[in-house]
Structure 1
Amino acid sequence: MEERHKRILQRNRVNLVSDLNPSDMYDGLLSKGIFTQDMIDEIKRSGTRRDQARQLVRDLETRGSRAFPALIECLREKGQHSLPDLLLAGEPQSQPLPLPVHVRPVVRPLPVYSHVDTSKFESNQFPNFIVWIYCGINACFSFMFSQSYKMDASPCGHCLIINNVDFEPQSELNNRTGSNIDCDKLERRFQSLNFIVLVKRNLKQKQIRQELSALSKKDHSQCDCCVVIMLSHGTEVSHNRFPGAVHGVDGPNVPVQLITNYLNGQNCPSLQGKPKLFFIQACGGGERDTGFEVTPDEDRPCIGGTDDQTDAMPMSSSSDSLSTPSDEPDARATLPTPSDILVSYSTFPGYVSWRDTQAGSWYVETLDNVLEDNAADNDLVTMLMMVNHEVSQNSAKGLYKQMPGSFNFLRKLLYFQVLPCQRPIQA
């Protein structure tokens, strides 16, 4: 597809995903040689109407110069005149579209199959290495365009936010001024993504574990996803899979590895095969990142302010967390294969995480903005890369840097629901 047509589709992706009826397009795009039947079947398996529309538009961009005019023609054939008018609004009138596709020779590309029929290669007509290359390419494309998670339940799922602000004197931890700003932003954001949001404030270590245990005991069978957000001081601990730990207001910590363990397939059967998302706004350790020198075009003015604080604590031994016998029968000290889990950290393990006392943390502010601007069109992993990039550009006190990141064990693409307007759902 020509670059100008790709830009038109990308610019109008929100309207296409919202208004396009993919089932009306399949026969026309098949008869015009744009898609094969196998490709259409793959799009149909991608999920809801919105998922199919999103996948159809994405696949169109790979189908050559005839794909865009074919889409316009199919839309008009089905009486969907508003979408063609919208797409062609930016087209220069002095440059006519290519001739109608039905009068051009049809050059059909090789179809992409999920399972290749290798019997076609049993003769000696093709060398073995060509067969291997063909199968490998098809397997790669099949993986790249695998279906996305089902995310159309209403409500989509539960979201637990634990916001620790006021720490007890014996904890020797400072109060986290500005964290309430983060909490309010994320509460509104996940309500707008059709989650039931429950906020718990100033929890001790044992209370954190009790809330996670209660969440794991809920019936999630009618939900498609579950989210846990931790806003607290953090530290570095020994771990097997997920680094870091978050502190209760009384001082003792709960390892991230244990937090994720409450919702794994073994301890929460109704979430098996469903995405479980964890967002950790806490330090991963006490080290401060001074960054490294870059070329002028990579640099930009410092964004952090004089009120920036960290959520750091020195490295903690894991003996006070992982090895302590649990008082809840569903907690586990080890984590089975962490499928369908994503843990997003505000900072790289071992480093501090910066928080502005007036505006909230860099990570949460950026995450909220990225979700607001991009959740209608982009998958979660893509948006988290946007967050990583934006936060990496900030500087605290003109010197210190921060690099978010994630441990991603999702098996499919994840697209959030975006409600037309925010409407809080009662927990």
Structure 2
Amino acid sequence: MDQKHRDILRSNRIHLVMNLKPSELYDRLIEGGIFSQDMIDEIKSSGTRRDQARQLLCDLETRGRRAFPCFIQCLRDTGQQDLAGLLLGGEPASPPPIRPLVQPPVRPLAPLTPAVRPVLQPLPVSSPFDDSHAKDIAPLCPRQRPSTTPSPSPEGEYTRPRRTRKDNQSYKMDASPCGHCLIINNVKFEPNTDLKNRKGSDIDCDKLEKRFKSLNFIVTVKTNLKYKQIRHHLAELSKKDHSLFDCCVVIILSHGTEVSHNRFPGAVHGVDGPAVPVQFITNYLNGQHCPTLQGKPKLFFIQACGGDQTDTGFEVSPDEVTPGVGGAGDEMDAMPMSSSSDSLSTSDELDARATLPTPSDILVSYSTSPGFVSWRDPLSGSWYVEILDRILGEHAVTDDLVTMLMMVNNEVSQNSAKGLYKQMPGNFNFLRKFLYFQTQSQRQTSA
């Protein structure tokens, strides 16, 4: 879609979301070749009429140059000429004038009488060396703060204790097994996609499979999935009964790209080329579409590019950074972006909810920033997965997930690809509580 048409849609987004009737457009958009039936089904599953309108407008920007004129024609054909006129240069109907509030008459204030100030008696002054009144005065003791210096153990070594878990501040994570973990590992891409095979991804997959099994998850690995197969396996996962479990994890290792969005950026490619937006991936497990996971943490780890931009970083003092492990042979998991995203998220309006917000209890951890490439070593795997696996192994006993992801961000940011390019992971965190994984040592202690 041309940038001018994209700007028109964005500048009128609020009015469109409030007034658009998306259900009347679906058949015509399919007939015009703008959307496939699968894509329309995804839009329908996004929720209320406003949610569907919002999702339709976001996806429309990714559907090429014919999308805007076809959308205009569909509006006309379905009796929504006012919206078509708005997008072609008209103005939305002006809201009714707001009547000014009638102010009650102001009563004159009574004259002020001078306030009678109390007579202040001076306190007796004594020398700091005069202790004659010390017995009558309570000593002022400053509050003692807990020492941050660790006390040595009897053996002379300090082991940092696991943070005290409070039931109202931490997720319940003691079910055995803890939950399902689905890993989608796309390595070999079809020749007509112009996507290179992802050498080293099997190394990432093996590490994460072993790691999440050690954290007491039921791990399922799916390899080289096409677009429809990715959606199929996510739908299957959402239909499972998670009542006896405390958590659910989805890990996707693939090529990625940037797409328009209103909540979670990025998309991951099937081996046949088309990309599934991360926003759709999270929708399968949200509180609306997977009732047995309501109130439970849903974790998504995405090893894929967020776009095709490379980051050369900026200069810092030598004591702020340690040498990284990146090498000259590192590859990127990128595809040219299908559309640009002006911000990390776009909010059209505030919708009051009587229950928990739909994206609550979701965390999406990205290997790189939106719009930028993600680096992978063909021999040792991706930077992000290598460091994530090690941090989980070293710190899951003592630290919560968000703290560990901050450690991952720090270490990955210090790597350099080909001596020049940088990478900055990040996460979109909608968790409401601390999350502590189960570890083998804790299970053995409690057994």
Q: TM-score normalized by structure 1?
A: 0.63
How big is the shift at 1:298? Answer: 1.4
Specify the alignment match of 2:382 in structure 1: 361
Amino acid of the residue matched to residue 277 of structure 1? L
Question: Aligned partners of 1:182, 1:422: CA distance in 2, in Å?
Answer: 26
1:205 to 227, 251, 261: 227
Amino acid of the residue matched to residue 420 of structure 1? S
Amino acid of the residue matched to residue 231 of structure 2? R
Amino acid of the residue matched to residue 385 of structure 1? M
Secondary structure of 1:283 counterpart: coil
Relative to 1, partners in 2 of residues 1:6 and 1:406: Cα closer, same or farther, differing over 3 Å? farther
How big is the shift at 1:316? Answer: 1.3
Specify the alignment match of 1:304 in structure 2: 326
- 1:385 aligned to 2:406? yes
How big is the shift at 1:54? Answer: 2.4
Specify the alignment match of 2:427 in structure 1: 406
Relative to 1, partners in 2 of residues 1:397 and 1:413: Cα closer, same or farther, differing over 3 Å? same
2:439 to 411, 418, 426: 418
Confirm or deny: 8 A CA contact 2:184 2:222 kept in the other structure.
Answer: yes
Relative to 1, partners in 2 of residues 1:211 and 1:157: Cα closer, same or farther, differing over 3 Å? same
Alignment of 1:170-185 (within 5 A): 170-185=192-207
Relative to 1, partners in 2 of residues 1:299 and 1:251: Cα closer, same or farther, differing over 3 Å? same
- 1:291 aligned to 2:313? yes
Q: Tell me the number of residue pairs that the alignment of Structure 1 and Structure 2 aligns.
A: 282
How big is the shift at 1:306? Answer: 1.9
- 1:275 aligned to 2:385? no
Amino acid of the residue matched to residue 252 of structure 2? M
How big is the shift at 1:414? Answer: 0.1
Question: Aligned partners of 1:299, 1:420: CA distance in 2, in Å?
Answer: 33
How big is the shift at 1:146? Answer: 4.8
1:154 to 173, 176, 188: 176
Q: TM-score normalized by structure 2?
A: 0.60
Higher-helix-fraction structure: 1
Alignment of 1:28-427 (within 5 A): 54-55=164-165, 146-317=168-339, 337-420=358-441
Confirm or deny: 8 A CA contact 2:305 2:373 kept in the other structure.
Answer: yes
How big is the shift at 1:420? Answer: 3.5
Question: Aligned partners of 1:402, 1:231: CA distance in 2, in Å?
Answer: 16
Confirm or deny: 8 A CA contact 2:288 2:358 kept in the other structure.
Answer: no
Question: For residues 338-370 of structure 1, what are the alpha-carbon distances to aligned partners after superposition, in whole Å with 9 as ceiling and x for unaligned?
Answer: 000000000000000000000000000000000
Secondary structure of 1:3 counterpart: coil
Question: Aligned partners of 2:153, 2:407: CA distance in 1, in Å?
Answer: 22
Relative to 1, partners in 2 of residues 1:254 and 1:373: Cα closer, same or farther, differing over 3 Å? same
How big is the shift at 1:13? Answer: 3.7
Confirm or deny: 8 A CA contact 1:302 1:398 kept in the other structure.
Answer: no
Relative to 1, partners in 2 of residues 1:422 and 1:167: Cα closer, same or farther, differing over 3 Å? farther
Confirm or deny: 8 A CA contact 1:220 1:271 kept in the other structure.
Answer: yes
Question: Aligned partners of 1:153, 1:227: CA distance in 2, in Å?
Answer: 14
Question: Aligned partners of 2:152, 2:235: CA distance in 1, in Å?
Answer: 47
Question: Aligned partners of 1:54, 1:302: CA distance in 2, in Å?
Answer: 34
Secondary structure of 1:182 counterpart: helix
Question: For residues 9-32 of structure 1, what are the alpha-carbon distances to aligned partners after superposition, in whole Å with 9 as ceiling and x for unaligned?
Answer: 993345xx5xxxxxxxxxxxxxxx
Amino acid of the residue matched to residue 152 of structure 1? D
Identity %: 72
Specify the alignment match of 1:12 in structure 2: 159
Question: Aligned partners of 1:374, 1:231: CA distance in 2, in Å?
Answer: 23
Q: Which 5+ residue runs of structure 2 have no aligned equivalent?
A: 1-145, 341-355
Q: Which 5+ residue runs of structure 1 have no aligned equivalent?
A: 18-52, 57-144, 319-334
Secondary structure of 1:386 counterpart: helix
Secondary structure of 2:210 counterpart: helix
Amino acid of the residue matched to residue 176 of structure 2? S
